[in-house]
Amino acid sequence: MTCEIVTRTFILDGIRKECLFKDFPTAISSVKAEFADRTQGISSEADTELIFYRTTDEELHPERHENFYYGRLVNGDSELAEGLERIRITEQKFVSTVYRGIIEDIWKGYQAINEYLKEHSLQKDSSSVVVELYDQRFNPEFADSEMEIYMPIKV
């Protein structure tokens, strides 16, 4: 898995949720359904799904409290559905990778990014958000599914 430094802008129309880390898979399913209900009848220029969440120094454990946004990538000019928030991440530097495999092993993508950060003496930027991008290449039913991970870095 290769990593690279990129500068990206992301605009998300989405819903903010919180849960315990152990409940994240259930929370994602629930927020996807809520998002579909709120955006019914509103045209979207893309079907690219995004998840934004802040990095934390807290060790990963089942009871860790998670705050995240789930939504769609937009250009920022589209109609904002009632109950959604528009979040803009502008010209942020990230270390990114394309993770290929089953979703249960997504940690391997994060491991590759953390190794890259260490090898290149880079620091995570906790003032920004981690971005997970799911487009037409992603299908949780397939072992060769692809998604992108973007870890914000300090410049």
Q: Is the distance from CB of 17 to CB of 31 less than 8 angstroms? A: yes
Q: Is the distance from CB of 149 to CB of 96 less than 8 angstroms? A: yes
Average pLDDT score over the chain: 90
Q: Please state the domain count of the chain.
A: 1
Top-confidence range, 56-60, 112-116, 140-144: 112-116
Checking if the pLDDT of 90 tops 60, the result is yes
Boundaries of domain holding 21: 3-152
The pLDDT confidence band at residue 46, using thresholds 50, 70 and 90, is low
Helix, strand and coil content of the chain, in percent to the nearest 5, comes to 25, 40, 35
pLDDT at 117: 97
What distance in Å separates the CA atoms of residue 74 and residue 23, rounded to the nearest whole number?
Answer: 27
Checking if the pLDDT of 42 tops 60, the result is yes
The pTM score is 0.91
pLDDT at 43: 63
Structure letter (DSSP) for residue 22: G
Q: Is the distance from CB of 146 to CB of 95 less than 8 angstroms? A: no
116: domain CATH number is 3.20.80.10
